Amino acid sequence: MRRRGFIGLGLCVAAGMSACTGDAFYRRVETLSDDQWVRGHACTFAVEAVDTVTRYDVYVDLRTSDGYPWREIYLIGQVCDTAQSVLQCDTLRCELFDTKGEATGHGLSNVKENGVLWLRDFRFPAPGRYGFSVRHGMRNVELQGVSSVGIRIQLSEIQ
Protein backbone atom coordinates (compact mmCIF):
# COMPACT_ATOMS: atom_id res chain seq x y z
CA MET A 1 0.00 0.00 0.00
CA ARG A 2 2.81 2.38 0.91
CA ARG A 3 4.60 1.66 -2.35
CA ARG A 4 1.50 2.61 -4.35
CA GLY A 5 1.39 5.93 -2.53
CA PHE A 6 4.99 6.71 -3.47
CA ILE A 7 4.38 5.73 -7.09
CA GLY A 8 1.24 7.87 -7.20
CA LEU A 9 3.09 10.80 -5.66
CA GLY A 10 5.93 10.38 -8.16
CA LEU A 11 3.50 10.39 -11.09
CA CYS A 12 1.80 13.53 -9.77
CA VAL A 13 5.12 15.33 -9.40
CA ALA A 14 6.22 14.27 -12.91
CA ALA A 15 2.91 15.41 -14.40
CA GLY A 16 3.15 18.72 -12.58
CA MET A 17 6.68 19.34 -13.79
CA SER A 18 5.80 18.56 -17.39
CA ALA A 19 2.81 20.91 -17.19
CA CYS A 20 5.13 23.79 -16.30
CA THR A 21 7.11 23.52 -19.50
CA GLY A 22 4.04 23.28 -21.74
CA ASP A 23 4.87 22.85 -25.40
CA ALA A 24 8.20 24.66 -25.19
CA PHE A 25 10.67 23.61 -27.88
CA TYR A 26 13.44 25.39 -25.97
CA ARG A 27 13.61 26.95 -22.52
CA ARG A 28 16.70 28.20 -20.70
CA VAL A 29 17.19 30.67 -17.86
CA GLU A 30 20.26 32.60 -16.76
CA THR A 31 20.32 33.50 -13.07
CA LEU A 32 21.85 36.90 -12.36
CA SER A 33 24.12 37.30 -9.34
CA ASP A 34 23.01 39.54 -6.47
CA ASP A 35 19.63 40.18 -8.16
CA GLN A 36 21.12 42.81 -10.42
CA TRP A 37 21.58 43.10 -14.15
CA VAL A 38 24.63 45.10 -15.21
CA ARG A 39 24.22 47.23 -18.33
CA GLY A 40 26.07 45.72 -21.27
CA HIS A 41 25.74 42.16 -19.94
CA ALA A 42 23.83 40.17 -22.53
CA CYS A 43 22.15 36.94 -21.51
CA THR A 44 22.89 34.64 -24.45
CA PHE A 45 21.26 31.38 -25.44
CA ALA A 46 22.36 28.95 -28.17
CA VAL A 47 19.55 27.13 -29.97
CA GLU A 48 20.12 24.22 -32.33
CA ALA A 49 17.54 24.37 -35.13
CA VAL A 50 16.78 21.49 -37.47
CA ASP A 51 13.23 22.29 -38.56
CA THR A 52 12.89 25.20 -41.00
CA VAL A 53 9.17 24.77 -41.64
CA THR A 54 7.62 24.97 -38.19
CA ARG A 55 6.78 28.42 -36.85
CA TYR A 56 7.55 29.41 -33.26
CA ASP A 57 6.73 32.15 -30.77
CA VAL A 58 9.77 33.41 -28.85
CA TYR A 59 9.32 34.82 -25.34
CA VAL A 60 11.66 36.54 -22.92
CA ASP A 61 10.98 35.35 -19.37
CA LEU A 62 11.94 37.79 -16.61
CA ARG A 63 11.95 37.09 -12.89
CA THR A 64 11.89 40.26 -10.80
CA SER A 65 11.30 41.25 -7.20
CA ASP A 66 9.63 44.23 -5.60
CA GLY A 67 13.15 45.65 -5.32
CA TYR A 68 12.89 46.64 -8.98
CA PRO A 69 12.50 50.44 -8.82
CA TRP A 70 10.52 51.21 -12.01
CA ARG A 71 7.19 50.34 -13.53
CA GLU A 72 8.62 48.90 -16.75
CA ILE A 73 11.79 47.60 -18.31
CA TYR A 74 13.15 48.00 -21.82
CA LEU A 75 14.93 45.03 -23.37
CA ILE A 76 17.07 44.73 -26.48
CA GLY A 77 16.81 41.34 -28.14
CA GLN A 78 19.04 40.09 -30.91
CA VAL A 79 19.01 36.95 -33.06
CA CYS A 80 22.19 35.83 -34.85
CA ASP A 81 22.52 33.06 -37.40
CA THR A 82 25.18 30.37 -37.63
CA ALA A 83 27.66 32.85 -39.20
CA GLN A 84 27.04 35.33 -36.33
CA SER A 85 25.23 37.72 -38.68
CA VAL A 86 22.45 39.66 -36.99
CA LEU A 87 19.10 38.50 -38.36
CA GLN A 88 16.94 40.66 -36.14
CA CYS A 89 17.34 43.26 -33.41
CA ASP A 90 14.33 44.54 -31.45
CA THR A 91 13.54 46.79 -28.52
CA LEU A 92 10.88 45.39 -26.20
CA ARG A 93 8.90 47.13 -23.47
CA CYS A 94 7.67 45.05 -20.54
CA GLU A 95 5.31 46.50 -17.94
CA LEU A 96 6.23 44.97 -14.57
CA PHE A 97 3.84 47.00 -12.38
CA ASP A 98 0.45 48.54 -13.17
CA THR A 99 -0.52 52.16 -12.47
CA LYS A 100 -1.49 51.23 -8.89
CA GLY A 101 1.92 49.67 -8.23
CA GLU A 102 0.67 46.07 -8.34
CA ALA A 103 2.98 43.52 -9.97
CA THR A 104 1.73 42.26 -13.34
CA GLY A 105 3.56 38.92 -13.30
CA HIS A 106 2.80 35.56 -11.76
CA GLY A 107 4.36 34.08 -8.67
CA LEU A 108 4.36 33.87 -4.93
CA SER A 109 5.64 36.42 -2.45
CA ASN A 110 7.57 39.39 -3.80
CA VAL A 111 9.14 37.51 -6.75
CA LYS A 112 7.17 37.60 -10.01
CA GLU A 113 7.73 36.13 -13.45
CA ASN A 114 6.71 37.93 -16.64
CA GLY A 115 6.71 36.40 -20.10
CA VAL A 116 7.15 38.94 -22.90
CA LEU A 117 6.32 37.93 -26.46
CA TRP A 118 9.34 38.87 -28.54
CA LEU A 119 8.94 37.16 -31.92
CA ARG A 120 5.60 35.88 -33.15
CA ASP A 121 5.47 33.27 -35.90
CA PHE A 122 9.29 33.02 -36.12
CA ARG A 123 10.84 30.51 -38.52
CA PHE A 124 14.47 29.41 -38.58
CA PRO A 125 15.76 30.21 -42.10
CA ALA A 126 18.18 27.25 -42.25
CA PRO A 127 19.32 24.39 -40.02
CA GLY A 128 22.10 25.31 -37.62
CA ARG A 129 22.99 26.95 -34.34
CA TYR A 130 21.33 30.30 -33.61
CA GLY A 131 22.18 32.78 -30.89
CA PHE A 132 19.49 34.67 -28.99
CA SER A 133 20.69 37.45 -26.71
CA VAL A 134 18.86 39.83 -24.40
CA ARG A 135 20.21 42.86 -22.55
CA HIS A 136 18.45 45.65 -20.75
CA GLY A 137 18.13 49.07 -22.32
CA MET A 138 17.70 51.07 -19.12
CA ARG A 139 19.90 54.03 -18.16
CA ASN A 140 21.16 52.59 -14.90
CA VAL A 141 24.46 50.74 -14.94
CA GLU A 142 23.25 48.24 -12.32
CA LEU A 143 19.59 47.31 -12.52
CA GLN A 144 18.43 46.06 -9.09
CA GLY A 145 15.63 43.56 -8.53
CA VAL A 146 16.14 41.37 -11.63
CA SER A 147 17.02 37.82 -10.60
CA SER A 148 16.86 35.91 -13.90
CA VAL A 149 16.37 36.25 -17.64
CA GLY A 150 15.32 33.42 -19.90
CA ILE A 151 14.25 32.51 -23.41
CA ARG A 152 11.27 30.30 -24.19
CA ILE A 153 10.56 29.09 -27.73
CA GLN A 154 7.31 27.26 -28.32
CA LEU A 155 5.06 26.31 -31.20
CA SER A 156 3.37 29.35 -32.66
CA GLU A 157 -0.27 29.94 -31.86
CA ILE A 158 -0.66 30.79 -35.56
CA GLN A 159 -0.16 27.50 -37.42
Structural domains present in the chain: 24-155 (2.60.120.260)
pLDDT digits (tens, 9 = 90+) for 66-87: 899 999 999 999 999 999 999 9
pLDDT bracket for residue 158 (50, 70, 90):
confident
pLDDT at 149 over 90: yes
pLDDT at 13 over 50: no
Query: In this predicted structure, what is the pLDDT of residue 120?
Result: 97
Three-state secondary structure call for residue 96: coil
Query: In this predicted structure, what is the pLDDT of residue 15?
Result: 38
Has this prediction a pTM greater than 0.85? no
